[in-house]
Amino acid sequence: MTRRVLEVSDLSKSFTMHHLGRTLPAFEDLGFTLDEGEFLLLSGANGAGKSTLLRTIWRSYLPEAGRVVFTRADGGRIDLARAADVDIALLRRHEIGFVTQFLTARPRVPAEDIVAEPLLSAGQPLVKARAAARAALASYGIKPDLWPAYPATFSGGEQQKVNLARALILPPRLLLLDEPTASLDAGARAALIARLSALKAQGTAMIGVFHHPGDVLALIDREFSLTAREDADVAV
């Protein structure tokens, strides 16, 4: 039986622009569902609200209205729009992943340790976790010289590879992808697509924004299109 992972209903998010004295809607009354192993492509013009929707599901943003019901691996259901911060932190650690183009490099933590961390948290021994982390970094084309180095000095593409290696080292139940191929070279793009296919086959549900969806064509099950709203601003 296919199991539901996410059920979004009547979801609305707007931004209050105090300097303009206005509230501008990013999106209104959105609804869709997502099952295990499904890949939903989020499409829409620049400014249509794609990143805002991903950040609202990730709970960086609180919506004004609506529900984002996530079904955990244990079958329990939780509304991400209303969950306590401590529950959101736990879900981010174990069940929900978010890959963006940007890495927040932590000072003085080697690349291989950043990538190994989720495995160590899951109880793997250090030697095994570090070997898996190195293999993941290698798969994206990060050379051995850089494995013990600090990513703060890495190039943009190299930092993104560290980000990917860490975020995808364990299969999350739900994976949010915001332009993850943006600054990757062809080899890393191919490695990423291969990893996403493997995760999908293991049941990870994914919602992705790709300005060049040709990269992930074989993975896409459905498309959800957002429309930019131009004339719906409300004075505050």
Ligand X SMILES: Nc1ncnc2c1ncn2[C@@H]1O[C@H](COP(=O)(O)OP(=O)(O)OP(=O)(O)O)[C@@H](O)[C@H]1O
- Residue 65 backbone phi and psi in degrees, to 5: -155, 160
Residues of the shown chain interacting with ligand X in the complex, contacts defined by CB under 6 A: 15, 26, 44, 46-52
Q: In this complex, which beta carbon is closest to ligand X, that of residue 169 or of residue 216?
A: 216
Q: In this complex, which beta carbon is closest to ligand X, that of residue 155 or of residue 227?
A: 227
Give least dist CB 129 to ligand X, A: 34
How many residues in total does the chain contain? 236
- Please tell me the distance from the alpha carbon of residue 233 to that of residue 7, in angstroms, as a whole number: 27
Give least dist CB 50 to ligand X, A: 4
Q: Are 208 and 50 in contact (CB under 8 A)?
A: no
Give least dist CB 34 to ligand X, A: 18
Give least dist CB 229 to ligand X, A: 8
β 234-235/22-35 pair status: antiparallel
Give least dist CB 233 to ligand X, A: 10
- Please tell me the distance from the alpha carbon of residue 171 to that of residue 193, in angstroms, as a whole number: 14
Q: In this complex, which beta carbon is closest to ligand X, that of residue 24 or of residue 120?
A: 24
Q: In this complex, which beta carbon is closest to ligand X, that of residue 42 or of residue 167?
A: 42
Q: In this complex, which beta carbon is closest to ligand X, that of residue 124 or of residue 183?
A: 183
* 52 CB-near residues (< 8 Å, 6+ apart): 13, 26, 27, 61
Give least dist CB 225 to ligand X, A: 11
Q: In this complex, which beta carbon is closest to ligand X, that of residue 26 or of residue 175?
A: 26
- Please tell me the distance from the alpha carbon of residue 117 to that of residue 51, in angstroms, as a whole number: 26
As given in the structure block, the two tokens for residue 162 are 């560290």
* 124 CB-near residues (< 8 Å, 6+ apart): 132
- Please tell me the distance from the alpha carbon of residue 164 to that of residue 42, in angstroms, as a whole number: 19
